[in-house]
Amino acid sequence: MDTRLLEQIGLTKGEIKVYLALLKLGNSKTGQLASLAGVSSSKVYKILDRLEKKGLVGQVMKGKIKHFSAMDPRRILDYLDEKRSKLEQDRALLAQLVPELEKQKKSAELKTEATLYDGYKGVTNFFRNIVDELKEGGEYFVIGAYYGEEAQYNTTIRWRDFFYKHHLRRVAKGIKVKMLANHDIKGKMVKTTQQKSEIRYLPQYLITNMEIVFYNNKVFIAFFTSEPKAFLLESKEAVKSFRKYFDALWGIAKQ
């Protein structure tokens, strides 16, 4: 039996072993249960206690000896529903906390000049922040748009999938993008990029392996490699400088 789904919903490997053993044994004492489940006698009580709290195991006294039994497997669905309900409650509480956290972040941003982003999650979170931070009618700018090295096929596909969804979110919120893309991706850009956008292509001799994104007071320089890295500079002066650079390139770029 593939038990990975049970792990994904929050059961530990030990809990899965004990629960499955109880399904086979029916009412059982801990000694026989520990043996079949392949866990130590010292751990089986702790595991049973956790399973009881999750509503997946019950107990009964036979004489002076405690026996345990697995609850109907459908109780796993009940456990998952309770977990989902708890997550929804936690999310609602966090939603109330977010404005206060954002105030603290803005206060800290006044002292922050540069941040290093490491990894796919970190880099893609910046693009999610663009959509979250800009209002309808807002705009950001891109120099050197591309999807990573073509030789790294899986990496390129991963970036294309992300930007397809990113531009869907962007367009849905009414955010515009003005983009200078690398010449070699002309005709290959994901379709959602074309909406609410102005796109021109850099000449072959100006193709770059980094992407520069800027808006408001933020300049983001990213490298879409198999191990992505990026650098965020928060400076209005830097944005002004890159805007001049962008406008100069825009004049020589082709549609």
Tell me the per-residue pLDDT of 54-109, one tens digit each, with 9 for 90 and over: 889 988 888 888 888 888 888 889 888 888 888 888 788 788 878 877 776 666 55
Distance CA 64, CA 243 (A): 80
Alpha-carbon span 140 to 213, nearest angstrom: 7
> Looking at the chain, which residues constitute the CATH 1.10.10.10 domain(s)?
4-76
Strand pairing of 229-234 and 218-223? antiparallel
Q: Please, are residues 198 and 178 in contact by the beta-carbon 8 Å criterion? A: yes
Q: How far apart are CA 234 and CA 109, in angstroms?
A: 8
DSSP class of residue 237 equals H
Measured distance CA(39)–CA(191) in Å, rounded = 54
Structure confidence at residue 154 as a pLDDT band (50, 70, 90): low
pLDDT one-digit tens code per residue, 133-149: 999 999 999 998 777 65
**Radius of gyration for the chain, computed over Cα atoms and rounded to the nearest angstrom:** 27
CA-CA distances (angstroms) from residue 148 to 112, 125, 151, 224, 226? 29, 17, 9, 5, 8
CATH T-level fold of 4-76: Arc Repressor Mutant, subunit A (1.10.10)
The continuous run of DSSP H or E covering 235 comes out as none
What distance in Å separates the CA atoms of residue 250 and residue 255, rounded to the nearest whole number? 10
Amino acid at 173: K
Beta bridge partners of 59: 68
Average pLDDT of the chain to the nearest whole number = 85
Asked whether 238 and 118 are in contact (CB, 8 A), the reply is no
Cβ-count burial of 115 within 10 angstroms (0-12 exposed, 13-18 middle, 19+ buried)? middle
Give dist(CA 54, CA 81) in Å, integer.
11
Name the superfamily (CATH) of residues 111-252: Endonuclease Chain A (3.30.870.10)
Q: pLDDT grade, residue 170 (50/70/90)?
A: very high
Task: Find residue 212's DSSP bridge partners.
Answer: 143, 221
The most distant pair of C-alpha atoms in the chain lies apart, rounded to whole Å, by 90
Q: Which amino acid is at 21?
A: A
Find, among 146, 145, 147, the residue nearest to 156 by Cα: 147
Q: Which residue has the higher pLDDT, 185 or 218?
A: 218
Q: What is the pLDDT of residue 189?
A: 87
pLDDT at 112 over 70: no
- In the chain, which residues fall in CATH 3.30.870.10? 111-252
Question: What's the whole-number mean pLDDT along residues 148-160?
Answer: 63
Banded pLDDT at 132 (limits 50, 70, 90): very high
Q: Residue 96: its pLDDT value, please?
A: 80
Give pLDDT, residue 151.
38
